Amino acid sequence: MSTQHNQEQKVLSAVPAAQPAAPAAAAPAGPAKSNTRVLVIAAVVALAALAAGGRMWYRSHYFVETENAYVAGHVHPVSARISGVVTKVLIDDNQIVKEGDVIAELDPFDQHVKVEQIQAQIATAEQQVAQSDAQIAQTQAQASAAAAQVAQSEAQLVRAKQDAERYGQLYNSQMKAVSKAELDSAVAGRASAVADLAARKDNAAAAKAQISAAHSARDVLKAQVTVLRVQLKDAQQQLAYNRILAPVGGRIGKRTIEVGQRVTAGQQLTAIVQENVWLTANFKETQLADLKPGQEVKVSIDAIPGHELIGKVDSFAPASGAQFALLPADNATGNFTKIVQRVPVKITFKPEDVKALSGRLVPGMSAIAEVAVNQSEAKAAH
């Protein structure tokens, strides 16, 4: 047992003694380094906050920006002016067309029939006018004959009166050169001549009235011919409407027309979008004080990242967007809440800039508009 105890003591004595504790002065080094790091981070955060605040102040003072901006353009709806069945469609989606190009054709059969029908009515009316002219000539001849008969009756009346006067002188209480029967016959002849003259005059007046009536009938027929010719012109124009033409040049969009489709007058068949586009930026009313026509605008299109366009403030809308709404807000209420309104501002681009994008800038795209204002003040501050 003693031998074993001695061996344990030798082993324990071979183990190195524990190192002494570190000096007390080295203990606070860790907290000092962490405090320095916190101060550095706080300083960096403060400087970043100051820089961000300064940038926000600078941009709010010298720049006006809005994300409520959209590309706009002229979109022309193309519709049929008459009803019919589509026989040809000469366009395709997104195709470029020129003004006057034929977009589609309708079946012209109905319009052809109408044109021929009106032409037949005109021919009939013109024949009636010719007959009316002949009737007028005949009536004038009858009136001339009636006038001659009136003159003849007047001459006969003069003779009958003379005969009655002579027979009256030859048959009286002192002289009986003729018989009473001859006197009565002369008086009766005079009365008959008077009645005949009256009848002849009535016939002449009737003939003149027939001439006036014939002239009026001819005028009515001529007016009908004029109306029919106007209807013919309209029918021929309707026939021309079977060819649906492009009203302007641009690109085809929203095509809904197909061969065999029956369309009605006024039905939209497609739309044509012109290349000259602009930007409608809805600025807050509090941002309008420093905006003026002619100022340059930096425009970023969401669909074309990395490509900045330079536009120009063209004009301001005559009213806020709320005034053009379908149901404008009624502010004359007890629960009024003031809301900052937005006013549309039109921003135009250079045609060559739009053309360089090769049709990628289209109406409806979202954009960001930024206008630099008070540039003279900014330069003076620097």
Rounded to whole angstroms, the Cα distance separating 63 from 56 reads 10
What does the pLDDT read at residue 205? 80
**Angle subtended at Cα 78 by Cα 73 and Cα 82, rounded to the nearest 5 degrees:** 160
pLDDT at position 183 is 65
Interval 321-341: pLDDT, tens: 888 887 777 776 667 778 889
Contact 228, 118 (CB under 8 A): yes
Closest CA to 299 of 104, 69, 93: 69
Distance CA 89, CA 105 (A): 7
| pTM of this structure | 0.63
**The pLDDT of residue 34:** 75
Closest CA to 321 of 342, 347, 291: 342
* Domain 63-106+250-381 CATH class label: mainly beta
Domain with CATH 1.10.287.620 in the chain: 109-240
Spatial distance between the Cα atoms of 191 and 164, rounded to a whole number of angstroms: 10
If you classify domain 109-240 with CATH, what class do you get?
mainly alpha
Residue 296 backbone dihedrals phi, psi, to 5 degrees: -75, 145
Dist CA 151 CA 211 (whole Å): 20
Alpha-carbon Rg for the chain, nearest whole angstrom, is: 55
What does the pLDDT look like over 256-287, one tens digit per residue? Answer: 999 999 999 999 999 999 989 999 999 999 99
Question: According to the model, what pLDDT value does residue 75 have?
Answer: 95
pLDDT for the residue 156? 78
pLDDT of residue 31: 65
How far apart are the C-alpha atoms of 6 and 10, rounded to whole Å? 6
The most distant pair of C-alpha atoms in the chain lies apart, rounded to whole Å, by 226
Per-residue pLDDT of the chain (382 residues; tens, 9 = 90+): 444 444 444 434 444 444 444 444 444 555 666 788 888 888 888 888 888 887 667 666 678 899 999 999 999 999 999 999 999 999 999 999 999 999 999 999 988 999 999 999 999 988 888 888 888 787 877 777 777 777 877 777 787 777 767 767 777 766 676 667 776 677 787 787 788 778 877 777 877 777 788 888 888 888 999 999 999 999 999 999 999 999 999 999 999 999 999 999 999 999 999 989 999 999 999 999 889 999 999 999 999 998 899 999 999 999 988 888 877 777 766 677 788 899 999 999 999 999 888 888 999 999 999 998 865 544 433 3
Strand, helix or coil for residue 48: helix
CATH 2.40.30.170 in the chain, residues? 63-106+250-381
Contacts 24+ apart (CB under 8 A), 353-362: 353/309, 353/310, 354/275, 354/276, 354/277, 355/275, 357/304, 357/307, 359/251, 359/275, 360/303, 360/304, 361/71, 361/277, 361/301, 361/304, 362/71, 362/73, 362/273, 362/277
User: How many CB atoms are closer than 10 A to CB 165?
Assistant: 13
What pLDDT is attached to residue 19? 47
**Does residue 125 contact residue 224 with C-beta atoms inside 8 Å?**
yes
